[in-house]
Structure 1
Amino acid sequence: MKTLISVLVWGLISMNTFAAEISRDEAQIRSNLYGFSALADHNAYEYLGRILAPTVKVDYTSLFGGETEHVARAELMKRWAAFLPGFDLTFHQLNAINVQVDDDSASASADFIARHWIGDDSFWSVAGTYLFTFKRSDGQWLITSIALTNPTEAGSRDVLGIAPERAAELLSKRLSNRLDYQ
């Protein structure tokens, strides 16, 4: 019994210590980062777009080549909606998040692994580090840039060609399952 009480007290102290170590700004930034991955995985682009600045600098050059782009958030959401729903399942996992806040600007890094499945056998994943920047706008922290760095891959990129062919149909099916709660 004494051990159980010690564990409970230590757990409460640890929770309170962690809660005190994170600022409100960092909490919102971390929430947006978790939302970034979860909303993409659930094809909720109308909500994902809300945590992005009106124009976002996007840099996936370390993975796909090409050039860094400045993209309007609506256009970026259209691009992702024409691609990500084509997978049967995606899971974007963020770890080791580090946030730095400086007035109305912030930066964050996160180790990630993004897994993509079509069927049971077609799979591709990429792991690396995401670098984000943020600006505070009307009390909200919006993502202003996204860069993917140090990528490593597993599986086959073949699924990247298949997903866009299926995206519109699968997105339409998923959207038909939206709940109208009003």
Structure 2
Amino acid sequence: MKRFLIICFLGVISMAGQASTITKDEAIIRSNLYSFSALADQGAFEYLGRLFAPKLTVDYSALFGGAPESVARETLMKNWANFLPGFDTTFHEAGQIRLSINGDQADAAMDFTASHWLGEQGFWQVAGTYQFTLEKAADNWEITSVKLTNPTEMGSREILGQAPLKAAENLKQRHHNKVNFE
């Protein structure tokens, strides 16, 4: 029993030491990147947009072809708002973040799985790695580029064309369910 307690005590000390190694900047970046997934799934585009620089580069060419695109964050949010809420449910599962900070610049990689459901049989899933670049902006870190790499897919892309047809109505319904606390 004594040995067990010593092992538990050493484990707690070890975890406490690891927890204190994160800096404030690392915490902000990690919070923003994990929020990236959750806010998209919740359709909270007005909050999701604040995670991005006013102008950023988006690169989904590994999945859909084409070339990287420079876009205003308002345009990106409008595009996502016209698409993602059209699914019955989405779940963007974020994995561990690998992070490197150099002054006011940061690079991060995060493995993810994004699942999309529509109707009884509609399902499409993409997994891969998001590579982010971020820049410090006052007391925040903004995403200046996001690139999807190493994608794998399951299900059918056919539902991607159907989702925009329901997006506006579904987003409107979600807005009705917001809690107003003011």
TM-score by length of 2: 0.95
Distance 1:7 1:46, change over 3 A: farther
Deviation string 1:39-74 (CA, Å, 9 cap, x unpaired) is 001000000011110011000001011121110000
Paired residue for 2:26? 26
State the SS of the aligned residue for 1:150.
Answer: strand
Identity fraction in percent: 54
- In the alignment, the residues of structure 2 paired with residue 75 and residue 175 of structure 1 have an alpha-carbon distance, to the nearest angstrom, of 19
What is the alpha-carbon distance in structure 2 between the residues aligned to residue 62 and residue 136 of structure 1? 27
User: Which amino acid in the other structure matches residue 105 of structure 1?
Assistant: Q
Q: Secondary structure at the match of 2:36?
A: helix
**TM-aligned CA deviation for residue 120 of structure 1:** 3.6
* Equivalent residue, structure 2, for 1:89: 89
Cα distance, 1:20 vs structure 2:
2.1
Q: Which runs of 5+ in 2 are unaligned?
A: none
**CA–CA separation in structure 1 for the residues paired with 2:74 and 2:138:** 19
Q: Distance in 2 between matches of 1:168 and 1:6?
A: 58
1:120/1:137 CA distance change after superposition, 3 Å: same
RMSD: 1.4
Q: State the shift of 1:172 in Å.
A: 0.4
- State the match for 1:48 in structure 2: 48
Alignment of 1:1-182 (within 5 A): 2=2, 5-6=5-6, 8-182=8-182
Shift of the alpha carbon at 1:23? 1.5
Query: What 5-or-longer segments of structure 1 have no aligned partner?
Result: none
Number of residue pairs aligned between Structure 1 and Structure 2: 182
Deviations 1:120-175 (A, max 9, x none): 42110001110000000112100000000111000000110110001000000011
Indicate the SS of the match to 1:21.
Answer: coil
What amino acid sits opposite 2:117 in the alignment?
W
